[in-house]
Chain A
Amino acid sequence: MSDFTADNGPTNGTAKTSLFTQTARTKRRNAAETRFKVYGIGAIALGLFFLVALLFSIVANGIPAFKQTFVTIPVELTEAKLDKNGNRDPADLAKVTTFGYKPLVTSALIVALKEQGIEIPFAKEKDVEDILSSSVAAQVRDTVLANPDLIGQTVDFRLLASSRVDGYFKGRVTRESLVRDKNLDAEHLDVADAMVDAGLMKTSFNPAFIFGSDASESRPEQAGIGVSMIGSFFMMIVVLFLALPIGVAASIYLEEFAPQNKWTDLIEVNISNLAAVPSIVFGILGLAVFIQFAHLPQSAPLVGGLVLTLMTLPTIIISTRASLKAVPPSIRDAALGVGASKMQSVFHHVLPLAMPGILTGTIIGLAQALGETAPLLLIGMVGFIASNMPDGITAGFLSPNSAMPAQIYEWAKRADPAYYERAWGGIIILLVFLMTMNIIAVILRRRFERRW
């Protein structure tokens, strides 16, 4: 018998090594083993670290978007300014533009400040109005137009503070950073601090971010994601109602009926390749076929939905085929054995059994479509301000709109850093939708999972 160790090489000695003592070589090998294992744990830890960093950065940056700084002051709606004729005729009221409202709001602010004994540190008292968002006049005007009876009264308004003031309370804006800022001076912040102390200004939850519409480049405090959420919703409707039936039909054909021939092979190859085509190429397809060729309206959720349908189809087909495959042949044989036609066996027995799997796959496909951005850029769902809710269902499909991810991209592109916070906040909402969809998919799978 021979015993070998690395250190003395092959020998023909009789000395046996005990199993209880590790040779130097075994120690080295075990150290290598441990190192290797540590690399593996390290890789997983690194991956999870990235996940945590990503989520942390989303939550930390995005949560402030749900809060907004508001100024609550009484505004006197002077009849002499707003309704010279005093007849409350909506047509006449509408003639007073926001420029007519602006001085009312500004003086209301000045009055409120003086009442609280807050000093206005400006040569021109009017300059203090920069504390308020430039949208406030429109806000007051809309309220008055909706309810002309308010004219002549003094009404408490909850007005948006300007995005710089809002940023100051969220830590984005400091006095130093305002030195070169034309929009706001450090003195405004002193006033703002005093207003907070006096209870005139408060940072609170802002539902308008979730339900509101996008605003122009200069008014980030007003922007919301609601309209593009509707856009996404209509796109998902299109995707669901096209991709699910087409995907299921295609899968049934390929899995149950397709003969072994060139055409079937061609379809199979096409599906597996389409699944890996970059999404931007689908955008080019949408642009060329739906907009250039078929003259469908640009930026319409219908077009977005069609493009996303084509993009999602391979995903849905692949998962549907997997769940059809999971139904054991014995079920088909049983149906065929009692004289059902092939078609009957598939539609009466196989399809219902495969349904939970199909739905799970569809939901995951929808989630993928919901987060997809690149193709939407090419069919024009960015670059404009989605400021109006669609009126009616047809308009929902056909009038230009944005979609959640496209809106987030739009915000990320804008120059004002106040929009970055909006973009992160938008991502939180998008991820909440995605998470809900995935959880539903997981629950469906758990509930209906069958082991044959």
Chain B
Amino acid sequence: MNDMRIVRKDVDMNDTKISAKGVQVYYGDTHAIKDVDVEIKDKTVTAFIGPSGCGKSTFLRCLNRMNDTIDICRVEGKIELDGEDIYDKRVDPVQLRAKVGMVFQKPNPFPKSIYDNIAYGPRIHGLAKNKADLDEIVEKSLRRGAIWDEVKDRLHAPGTGLSGGQQQRLCIARAVATEPEVLLMDEPCSALDPIATLQVEELIDELRENFSVVIVTHSMQQAARVSQKTAFFHLGNLVEYGDTEQIFTNPKDERTESYITGRIG
């Protein structure tokens, strides 16, 4: 197993990883996402921004079918991962989620040891041949989660005993351990203090080398700092999607401009 951290690849930002066409989402009678088209590139950090309730989190959860767990939620349209429709009948959401991992707003470590938290994904997906292999995966994932040095001496302490920032990095490491192709992050820093936020942001930047990262954020500064592409959502519509620099310096849509400059939101 090669350590991906030291293999610098040419980042090809033109590969489309996920493409969504005409996506509609309904919660019961509420039309939460209206006709969204978006193409998410590989090895790129894509940020979803917008005021609260604009549907950015809902859309994110469509990308690995987490919305399936909500009874009243209905998704229409087409979302393709590497050209395969993830809402196809033949697709097992479990297999999909192994490829499209997710990190949540609130750090949610399992009430298990740090080691078992990381090993959880590899174990259920059968990624390790033996104990030594699993140890290696755990170490590598914790390193990638930039938390190895802090926890290497207490791998068997409960994950719930860590600080908030550490917990979130643990959750990121946990998501990374299953070797996903896409990593979805739902406001991963909203529950963290500024220092922890900075650490997580640095981490996201490093993760871009191996994954396609989609991050939902409340903070425009954060979007500007970590992302290469930005999508602005407003009232369930995808208003504007483009290079982060362009969105923040030269927005094409009036609403985007109002939001960026703080007039709405």
Contact = CB atoms under 8 A, between A and B. Distances in A.
Q: Do A and B form a real pair?
A: yes
Interface in A7-50: 9-10, 12, 16-23, 25-26, 29-30
A13 B94 CA distance: 22
Nearest to A22: B92
Contacts of B255: none
B125 to A, nearest CB: 7
A9 B126 CA distance: 8
A394 interface: no
B88 A20 contact: yes
Contacts of B88: 19-20
Contacts of B181: 1
A2 interface: yes
B2 interface: yes
B264 interface: no
Contacts of B124: 29
B91 A10 contact: no
B139 interface: no
A6 interface: yes
A23 B95 contact: yes
A10 B94 contact: no
Given A18-B84, A19-B99, A9 B92 contact: no
Interface stretch (B49-57, B127-135, B245-253): B127-135
B92 A30 contact: yes
B92 A10 contact: no
B126 A20 contact: no
Contact of A19 (B81, B127, B179): B81
B68 interface: no
B86 to A, nearest CB: 6
A4 interface: yes
Contacts of A23: 95
Given A12-B2, A19-B99, A20-B84, A30 B125 contact: no
Q: Which of A6, A12, A16, A20 has the most CB of B within 10 A?
A: A20
Q: Which of A4, A18, A21, A22 has the most CB of B within 10 A?
A: A4
Contact of B125 (A1, A16, A25): A25
Nearest to A33: B94
* Chain B interface category by residue count: 20 to 34
Contacts of A17: 95
B96 interface: yes
B91 A4 contact: no
B6 interface: no
A432 to B, nearest CB: 38
Contacts of A3: 179
Interface string A389-407: 0000000000000000000
Nearest to A30: B92
B12 to A, nearest CB: 12
Interface string B1-24: 110000000000000000000000
A19 B91 contact: yes
A20 B179 contact: no
Contacts of B263: none
Contacts of B128: 10
Contacts of A26: 92, 94-95
A20 B1 contact: no
Interface in B135-177: none
B76 interface: no
A1 B43 CA distance: 11
B127 to A, nearest CB: 5
A19 B84 contact: yes
A115 to B, nearest CB: 75
Nearest to A2: B179
Interface in A89-116: none
Interface string B95-126: 11001000000000000000000000000111
B82 interface: yes
Contacts of B99: 19
Contact of B126 (A6, A12, A21): A6
A29 B94 contact: yes
B112 to A, nearest CB: 20
A25 B126 contact: yes
Q: Which of B81, B95, B128, B179 has the most CB of A within 10 A?
A: B95
A422 B179 CA distance: 70
Interface in B184-228: 210
A21 B129 CA distance: 23
A18 B99 CA distance: 11
B95 A19 contact: yes
Contacts of A2: 179
A16 B88 CA distance: 18
Contacts of A18: 84
Contacts of A6: 125-126
Contacts of B127: 4, 10
Nearest to A25: B126
Given A19-B91, A20-B91, A12 B1 contact: yes
23 contacts: A4-B126, A4-B127, A5-B126, A6-B125, A9-B129, A10-B1, A10-B127, A10-B129, A10-B133, A12-B1, A16-B82, A17-B95, A18-B84, A19-B81, A19-B91, A19-B95, A19-B99, A20-B88, A21-B90, A23-B95, A26-B92, A26-B94, A30-B94
Interface of B: 1-2, 81-82, 84, 86, 88, 90-92, 94-96, 99, 124-129, 133, 179, 181, 210
Interface of A: 1-6, 9-10, 12, 16-23, 25-26, 29-30
Given A12-B2, A19-B91, A25-B125, 16 more contacts: A4-B126, A4-B179, A5-B126, A6-B126, A9-B129, A10-B1, A12-B1, A19-B81, A19-B84, A19-B90, A19-B95, A19-B99, A20-B84, A20-B90, A20-B91, A26-B95
